[in-house]
Copies of this chain bind each other. A is one copy, B any other.
């Protein structure tokens, strides 16, 4: 049976918003220093959620940003990293050893650090300058992205690079209500998808731009990690330069189309896949109303809309496949 946890979800998102004042204080204090760039550091889903921030900084600000897997960040001695880098770290457990190590490296270099984790008191929380926790049974990633957005837009605003800061924050505040409606709207479609595709042994997810993180993490952290099915994330622009050659009539393709600048890349994938596979599923964030959100900001929130819709897909896959999203072969079970 699929649990509807929408009330809990709404509270978790609201909790992310409610920490806005503390987040602002942290960012304002950090901005008393000369911040030259931003490093987004984590692993797996905790890294992927930050790709949207990377995209926003790249396309809406002059603040350079770099997203790195923590274990790579820890060894490469990136030459743009300095005491003037804002380092944003994330780990749901707060104990991912690579991410904790990255926090220590950042601190040792004198760089300001902000960390996101499930619970305070965890190693990551203890090793950053500012720690924000949002433990919950559901919606952790979405809540985290809401908090991350508050960090980066505040940073941009403080740097004089976000004229519409107030409007964006106002739109952000509509999300607890709006994203629940996304889930409700997608519930039935998600169930139908799960019934149709529950026996697939391969998923190809395709996306680009602001949705790349979610495209990557859905293949990696849900389909592979939580359902033990082979999966592959493909960038919509890269699709035509390799991966599309394996597409045949029965290739299971999930196309994630957002409302950012890269939307035409996904249109091209749709045109191709419509011709060559019978198993194309599209989640288009444009199909979901976001009341109170100005048209021009919808693209910013595409990752959250997609994540909300995909949560229902995951829950129905779990149910129809009789494979809990919580069981693991190795993670947290064996040493590695």
Q: How far is the CA of A257 from the CA of B282 in the complex (A)?
A: 37
Interface residues on A, range: 35 or more
Contact assessment for B208 and A72 in the assembled complex, using a CB-CB cutoff below 8 Å:
yes
B209 touches A76 (CB 8 A): yes
**Taking the nearest CB of chain B, how far is it from the CB of A227, in angstroms?**
9
Least CB distance, A279 to chain B, in whole angstroms: 14
Contact with A98, one of B47, B237, B245, B271 (Cβ below 8 angstroms): B237
> Would you give the shortest CB distance from A163 to chain B, in whole angstroms?
14
Q: How long is the Cα–Cα vector from A245 to B202 in the complex, in angstroms?
A: 14
Within 8 A of B (CB), among A186-243: 202, 208-209, 217, 220-221, 224-226, 228-232, 235-238, 240-243
User: Which residues on B sit within 8 Å (CB–CB) of A240?
Assistant: 43-44, 331, 336
Which of A43, A77, A229 gathers the greatest number of chain B CB atoms within 10 Å? A43
In the bound complex, do residue B59 and residue A265 qualify as a contact, i.e. CB atoms below 8 Å apart? no
A329 CB, nearest partner CB in chain B, Å? 5
Flag if B246 contacts A75 (CB, 8 Å): no
Q: Of B45, B78, B225, B247, which one neighbours A58 at CB under 8 angstroms? A: B78
Residues of chain B with a CB closer than 8 A to A286's CB: none
Contacts of A238 in B (CB 8 A): 43-44, 47, 69, 220
Complex contact A58–B43 (CB within 8 A): no
Query: How far does the Cβ of A259 sit from chain B's closest Cβ, in whole Å?
Result: 13
Across-interface contacts of A108 in B (CB, < 8 A): none
Closest to A37 in B: B64
Binding site for B on A (CB under 8 A): 43-47, 55, 58-62, 64, 69-72, 75-80, 96, 98, 202, 208-209, 217, 220-221, 224-226, 228-232, 235-238, 240-247, 260-262, 264-265, 268, 271-272, 276, 328-331, 336
